[in-house]
């Protein structure tokens, strides 16, 4: 039977197309806030980093009541590095809102999230957002969405539904329209279409209990909380349930607390019926894919496969001469405890201690996925160092080496297209598509994940900052052979002192600097990049010798170019195998693994 007073929908889109802003307006239209209540923008982006980066990192559940119907809305991440979240939470939905920017149209990660929605069998409603943006072309964006659905193998029913159900929105201004020019200024057309046209959950309310855990929350008081949709039956507080793991292991548990989603929060309740989304407390060490069912009449559900990680980074306690200056937590034991605690909360990462106990290997879906954890830890006061991201290889049935392959998309002015193709060619990429528009060229490539590292800066350089670059994991493919790394050598400090303007003035003629006068440097730290291959040890504290022939004031002041600064992701992509990134609450420094120049020469000789 269908539960007519419920709708379970997911909002899917490319990063920065306005999912979270649209959720804000739906909440306000449904009366979640008082008329005069001040609410911060993107209220669902509760995490500090989500607000600063302007992206959704964790899938969120909210619910709104509209005309007597409870609408469960799942706000999904748009970035491919958090794709593991998207794949799983779509199982809780019966329909999806595909949100597309009216100016940009479908983007690479639109394809990524839409493919999962189509494969899951969801009915997709197209929402063309930002129709008020200058240069917006809502009709073209709508037609491109239908073409993309056809390319991704949507069924005739899914295509027909999408053709008949399109809404034109401005999330920022809070209106939805059935026609871009109809003048409506509220969100009710979108809410009406969700309630009237998206399918209600089709479930067996009277059958045995069947619920699958698709998201894990964590509380310091009650441990792991399993979140998922009840597919059949009813779950009650105090029920004895059977927990079936992905590997077939079975155990019993007691439901200690039960919650449903209510606007922005959760409400404790005594029972949750089929079709609704529940949060269950009481299942020890519950995992993604766990099925909660009736012990006497167990129901089998398909296991959930979490896509394997593609990159790993080793975390180590900091060995920098400046350790302890910025952070309070610097010990190896504390670092290990923090990462093992993350393993409890974050099931999309694989976290294991190295056999020699020298560090902890953390594996994830991409640089951004891993750097979000590092940024969180440095804000908590941790100091640590990490090595270069390493791609995770695997072997196929015939024993051939396989590596992760990404789809990369670049849009740039026509005159730079040749340079972009050359950059990708040097990084092991193969062009699969090229479309030229009025003044912009759209290029698509297949490229190994190894080749993606450090590519964004090179693309921005050759396109003079006018290129737009996206990439998303595609599949595991044959090993592509050796790929050239960083071509230029580094300038390495020879002493532990503060940088001096006079020394930097002479060094900037040899390359780009990473430090400015007064920066604390230490032996083995990277202070710049040479204009040619090969590392160079430099003295960043050299001062001008003053004789009695003239006074110091007679010198012409040194004109320094501003230093090149690195974000955490850029530093991780920049370093090579014998280098580390030192991460503290206040600084991100790059250094050699062996700080002493003599030690580095000995190690190089041994390697030969």
Task: Reduce the DSSP state of residue 188 to 3 states and report it.
Answer: helix
Q: Give burial (CB, 10 Å; 0-12/13-18/19+) of 586.
A: exposed
Task: Say how far apart CA 443 and CA 430 lie, in whole Å.
Answer: 11
| Strand extents, DSSP E, 328-378 | 350-353, 360-364
Q: Supply 155's token pair.
A: 């069924």
Task: Say how far apart CA 126 and CA 102 lie, in whole Å.
Answer: 11
* 525 contacts 591 by C-beta, under 8 angstroms: yes
Q: For strands 123-129 and 95-101, give the pairing.
A: parallel
132 annotated to bind ligand: yes
Nearest-Å Rg of the Cα atoms of the chain is: 27
User: How crowded is residue 342: how many other Cβ atoms within 10 Å of its Cβ?
Assistant: 17
Task: Say how far apart CA 160 and CA 124 lie, in whole Å.
Answer: 10
18 annotated to bind ligand: yes
Q: Where are the alpha helices (DSSP H) in 257-298?
A: none
Q: For strands 175-177 and 210-219, give the pairing.
A: unpaired
Which residue from 534, 536, 531, 492 is spatially nearest to 515, judged by alpha carbons? Answer: 492
Q: Supply 131's token pair.
A: 């129709």
| Strand extents, DSSP E, 178-317 | 210-219, 223-232, 234-236, 240-244, 250-254, 257-262, 265-268, 271-273, 277-281, 291-293, 311-317
User: How crowded is residue 597: how many other Cβ atoms within 10 Å of its Cβ?
Assistant: 15
267 annotated to bind ligand: no
Length of the chain: 608
Which residue from 68, 54, 60, 72 is spatially nearest to 17, judged by alpha carbons? Answer: 54
17 annotated to bind ligand: yes
Residues with Cβ within 8 Å of residue 534, at least 6 apart in sequence: 489
Q: Supply 176's token pair.
A: 């939805």
Task: Say how far apart CA 148 and CA 117 lie, in whole Å.
Answer: 13
Residues with Cβ within 8 Å of residue 595, at least 6 apart in sequence: 321, 522, 523, 524, 525
Give the DSSP H/E element, type plus range, for residue 28. helix 19-29
Write a three-state SS string for 537-564. EECCCCCCCCCCCCCHHHCCCCCCCCCC
21 annotated to bind ligand: yes
How many CA atoms are closer than 13 Å to the CA of 399, on its beta-carbon side? 0
Annotated binding site: 16-21, 129-132
Annotated binding site for GTP: 16-21, 129-132
């Amino acid at each position: 039977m269908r539960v007519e007073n419920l709708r379970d929908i997911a909002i899917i889109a490319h990063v920065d197309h306005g999912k979270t802003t649209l959720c804000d307006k739906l909440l306000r239209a449904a009366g979640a806030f008082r008329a005069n209540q001040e609410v911060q923008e993107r209220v669902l982006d509760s995490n500090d980093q989500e607000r600063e980066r302007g992206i959704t990192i964790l899938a969120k559940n909210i619910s709104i009541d509209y005309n007597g119907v409870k609408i469960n809305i799942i706000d999904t991440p748009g970035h491919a590095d958090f794709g593991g979240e998207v794949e799983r939470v779509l199982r809780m939905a019966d329909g999806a809102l595909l949100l597309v920017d009216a100016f940009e149209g479908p983007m690479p990660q639109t394809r990524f999230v839409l493919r999962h929605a189509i494969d899951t069998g969801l009915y997709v409603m197209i929402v063309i957002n930002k129709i008020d943006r200058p240069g917006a072309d809502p009709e073209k964006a709508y037609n491109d969405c239908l073409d993309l659905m056809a390319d991704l193998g949507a069924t005739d029913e899914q295509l027909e539904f999408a053709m008949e159900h399109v809404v034109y929105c401005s999330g920022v201004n809070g209106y939805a329209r059935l026609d871009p020019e109809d003048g409506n200024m509220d969100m009710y057309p979108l809410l009406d279409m969700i309630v009237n046209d998206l399918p209600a959950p089709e479930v067996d309310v009277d059958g045995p209990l069947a619920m699958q855990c698709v998201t894990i929350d964590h509380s310091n008081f009650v441990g792991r909380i399993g979140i998922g949709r009840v597919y059949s039956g009813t779950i009650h507080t105090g029920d004895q349930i059977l927990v079936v793991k992905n590997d077939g292991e079975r155990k019993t548990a007691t439901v200690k607390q039960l919650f449903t989603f209510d606007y922005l929060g959760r409400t404790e309740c005594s029972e949750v019926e089929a079709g609704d989304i529940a949060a269950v407390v009481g299942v020890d060490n519950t995992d993604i894919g766990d099925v909660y069912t009736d012990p006497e009449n167990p129901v089998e559900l398909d296991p959930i496969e979490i896509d394997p990680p593609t990159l790993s980074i080793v975390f180590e306690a900091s060995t920098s001469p400046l350790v302890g200056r910025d952070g309070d937590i610097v010990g190896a034991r504390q670092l290990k405890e923090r990462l093992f605690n993350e393993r409890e909360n974050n099931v999309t990462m694989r976290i294991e201690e190295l056999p020699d106990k020298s560090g902890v290997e953390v594996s994830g879906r991409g640089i951004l996925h891993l750097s979000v954890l590092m940024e969180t830890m440095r804000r908590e006061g941790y100091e640590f160092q990490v090595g270069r991201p390493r791609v995770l290889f695997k072997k196929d049935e015939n024993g051939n080496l396989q590596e992760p392959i990404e789809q990369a998309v670049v849009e740039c002015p026509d005159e730079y297209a040749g340079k972009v193709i050359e950059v990708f060619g040097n990084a092991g990429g193969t062009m699969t598509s090229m479309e030229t528009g009025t003044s912009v060229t759209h290029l698509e490539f297949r490229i190994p994940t190894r080749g993606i590292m450090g590519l964004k800066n090179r693309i921005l350089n050759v396109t003079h900052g006018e290129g737009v670059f996206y990439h998303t994991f595609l599949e595991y493919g044959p090993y592509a052979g050796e790929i050239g790394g960083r071509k230029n050598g580094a300038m390495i400090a020879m002493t532990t002192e503060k940088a001096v303007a006079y020394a930097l003035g002479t060094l900037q003629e040899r390359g780009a600097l990473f430090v400015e006068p007064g920066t604390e440097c230490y032996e083995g730290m990277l202070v710049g990049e040479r204009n040619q291959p090969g590392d160079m040890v430099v003295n960043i504290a050299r001062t001008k010798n003053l004789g009695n022939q003239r006074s110091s004031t007679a010198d012409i002041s040194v004109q320094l170019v501003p230093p090149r600064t690195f974000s955490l992701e850029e530093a991780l992509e920049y370093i090579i195998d014998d280098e580390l990134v030192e991460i503290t609450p206040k600084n991100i420094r790059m250094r050699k693994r062996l700080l002493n120049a003599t030690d580095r020469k000995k190690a190089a000789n041994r390697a030969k």
